[in-house]
Structure 1
Amino acid sequence: MARNVREMLNDFVNGLGTLRETNEEAVDAFMGLLGASYSPKALDLKTKELMSIAIGCYNRCEYCIVYHCYKAFEAGATKEEILESAMVSVAFGGGPSMAYTVTLLTDCIAEFEKDFQ
């Protein structure tokens, strides 16, 4: 069954805002770590987002897959690059990583790709 990945994306982003209302210091620290980690340096943002997709599929983190698929498209990644990065996770994670790649990640691609065409 296809998930509503746009709703999942919004739930995650809005959830951070809601959590920040009572846990500002912790959420800001997390967001600061993300900002520093995703800042383009030796690797560009698109590469880092593709790495995040592979890690999300490997770890079976649904919200990571959804969020970083969207951010990868936003950073200029193609559907082919996103799927290829996910297949690297399958090489390490086997069947579970493949399951998330062929279900949730393909749902994300179908939903988000049109936003960046």
Structure 2
Amino acid sequence: MSESPLPARTPALNRRRRELVPESTAAFDAFSAQVFSAGALDEKTKQLIAIAVGHITQCPYCIDSHTKQAAQKGASEEEIMEAVWVAAQMNAGAAFAHSVVAMNALKKDQVPG
């Protein structure tokens, strides 16, 4: 994430976040470890889902972190890009699906005046 306007995740910043609320940080770390451990879904699949969600939420930190973790779990570049395309379709699909709200607003019986 070079040339980003967002601050880098430095060891010093990560340490400070942990120092400020250690109990909450430990609970979050435990929660994350549980969520991303193998279960009905394997770890690679969970990381691919996280990549897609990171793109939907537009979190560069999540995209960076989960892409690296997915690769470490054996995800190929093709699998990672397919996850990105799933996210793109879901975002576009949501916009299209919600167009019924706009279409409904155009009904004469619902437009004031």
- The verdict on a shared fold, with TM-score over 0.5 as the criterion, is yes
Q: Which amino acid aligns with 1:70?
A: K
Query: Structure 1 residues 51, 31: closer, same or farther in 2, change over 3 A?
Result: same
* Structure of greater Rg: 2
Instruction: Tell me which of the two structures has the higher relative contact order, counting C-alpha pairs closer than 8 angstroms and 6 or more residues apart.
Output: 1
In structure 1, list runs of 5 or more residues that go unmatched: 95-117
3-state SS of the aligned residue for 2:39?
A: coil
Query: Structure 1 residues 69, 12: closer, same or farther in 2, change over 3 A?
Result: farther
In structure 2, list runs of 5 or more residues that go unmatched: 93-113
Q: Which residue of 1 aligns with 2:90?
A: 92
1:41 maps to 2:39: yes
1:75 maps to 2:73: yes
Query: Structure 1 residues 49, 19: closer, same or farther in 2, change over 3 A?
Result: same
Bigger helix share: 1
Q: CA deviation at 1:16?
A: 3.2
1:28 maps to 2:26: yes
TM-score by length of 1: 0.68
TM-score by length of 2: 0.71
Q: Which amino acid aligns with 2:69?
A: K
Deviating beyond 2 angstroms after TM superposition, the runs of 4 or more aligned structure 1 residues are 12-18
State the Cα RMSD in Å: 2.0
Q: What is the distance in 1 between the residues matched to 2:75 and 2:11? A: 21
Paired residues in the alignment total: 89
